[in-house]
Chains A and B, each alone.
Chain A
């Protein structure tokens, strides 16, 4: 069941034609009633509302946020407020930092996860199974609780307040390795690799010429996941990047003044969310597919 490897199988979700011909009430999944749609629309409205609200607030003047009853329609002051955000903090630098961090982490995670996934899925070596289980198992380790020595380590390396402190620990992830192992196991036929070997390809040659091109669809999904995760990462950057904030850290300091200017803060929130939203709009279908696929395997 994957959106990526074999698109026709996604159609298995929609019922086979003959079930339509059956008596009403049969055929699965069931046809949705008006109430199902109503309930789902309510859920989606609840999901969208907080973001919509930040758009409303960030496009109004500052006094609108205190109005009773609340204003529910966007106004015309969005660009004034955006200018105010860039004036009052180093938001541009924070955005740039976040792009650098998320971009480099994404490229690296995709590359190293594909490399490791290739080894786990297609190469034979001693301890393969054990190492794979260990790799997947690492994802349940509560790494957040190791931040004190991690901070000491970064201080030792002289990396505090440097983006490397956030980039390097994230260069390859357990999820990425697992995801690519799953995908490459299905997407790359063994015959193709054997043919490559007979032609005298080295292992890395196989990776470069056969595996990497075949991995492209999955690499795109993994890349998106990784980018969003890196973009949204907050706690570790907060600890280690005091004076060189990423966008989430900048946003949190915008929100934690003595008197919070909500118009300013919610405009910042909107700005910080837009890049993620753009990705989600374009490739949301693949992201949904990726999560559901991971669920079946996981």
Chain B
């Protein structure tokens, strides 16, 4: 008599196992993301409506939109936002163009194919800290190799940290150096998926290889190009470690006149140097909004282009 009861129980357990297990298995990801990814980001909104000072034993007081009102009138914020956009454009545009060109080079029959690809990817596996430290030395005013090379062709020593344009250029080079190879491999993967007969037909029609590149390769890669543009936007607008370390000291002002302080770095300064958590949170949320606007704009462009092609 005990046996049917046992099998019934077993069947119930079995059903519970097949129904419940999948949720249990995906749960850790969602719990972790919720607790340490989503919750902090949303809670940032609440903090931003408060006057919240860490030094004052975490005491806080609801101040409504006061932080945001201060923010839109804060010249340091607009300066940081301008620097962010400038560094983002300066690093992203040449980087994606160079990546396209390198991918094109790699898309040949090559000896030592894997070694060349690894060589191109090397900068991306090096840490931001290591990369920025080395480049900061190379961009040194007195003994840096960049200035030495420029000196050889008669361009006088540049104090790279001192000016807006030179610091933006140097930081953009650091960012681009680290990401160009990565994007090149992504483009290469898509290039290999382009049907070969397109090129063969173009060749029969007498198209030069430059024409083939611009008329076949680039259009076929368009979705990938936009994808990398969106990803670089989300990453590029959050740039913080490079300008922090490029200053050569641990001051998060981005140079003596804040000439290379990015928005994320301004957030860090207000939060963890001035201990104004409320104000820093207002910066964070505003920057989030800016990133969302740029990312959505990019997405809409993607969809538009995709529709045009149909």
List residues of A whose CB falls within 8 A of some B CB: 1, 13-15, 25-26, 28-32, 36-37, 39-40, 43-44, 46-48, 50-51, 53-54, 57, 65-70, 112-113, 115-116, 118-120, 123-125, 128, 131, 135, 138, 140-153, 155, 168-169, 171-172, 174, 177, 202-204, 207, 228, 231-232, 234-235, 239, 248, 251-253, 255-258, 260, 262, 265-266, 269, 272-273, 276, 280, 284-285, 287-288, 291-293, 295-296, 298
Q: A66-B143, A253-B250 are in contact. Are A146 and B40 (CB under 8 A)?
A: yes
Assess the B125–A280 pair: CB atoms within 8 A. yes
Q: A28-B196, A280-B118 are in contact. Are A143 and B37 (CB under 8 A)?
A: yes
B23 in contact (CB, < 8 A): yes
Assess the A203–B108 pair: CB atoms within 8 A. no
A207 to B25, CA, bound (A): 10
Say what secondary structure dominates the interface of chain B: helix
Closest to A153 in B: B40
Assess the B129–A287 pair: CB atoms within 8 A. no
Number of interface residues of B (CB under 8 A): 102
Min CB–CB distance B230 → chain A (angstroms): 8
Stretch at the interface among B62-70, B86-94, B163-171, B277-285: B277-285
Q: Point out the residues of chain B lying under 8 angstroms from A50, CB to CB.
A: 123, 126, 131, 134-135, 138, 177
Q: Point out the residues of chain B lying under 8 angstroms from A202, CB to CB.
A: 17
Assess the B271–A148 pair: CB atoms within 8 A. yes
Min CB–CB distance A142 → chain B (angstroms): 6
Interchain residue pairs with CB less than 8 A apart (6): A1-B192, A44-B119, A119-B26, A123-B21, A143-B40, A295-B186
Q: List residues of B (212-242) whose CB comes within 8 Å of A's CBs.
A: 224, 227, 234, 237-238, 240-241
Q: List residues of B (165-218) whose CB comes within 8 Å of A's CBs.
A: 177, 181-182, 185-186, 188-190, 192-193, 196, 199-200, 203, 209
Q: Point out the residues of chain A lying under 8 angstroms from B22, CB to CB.
A: 119, 123-125, 128, 203
Closest to A262 in B: B137
Q: A116-B29, A119-B25 are in contact. Are A293 and B189 (CB under 8 A)?
A: yes
Q: A123-B21, A288-B185 are in contact. Are A266 and B134 (CB under 8 A)?
A: yes
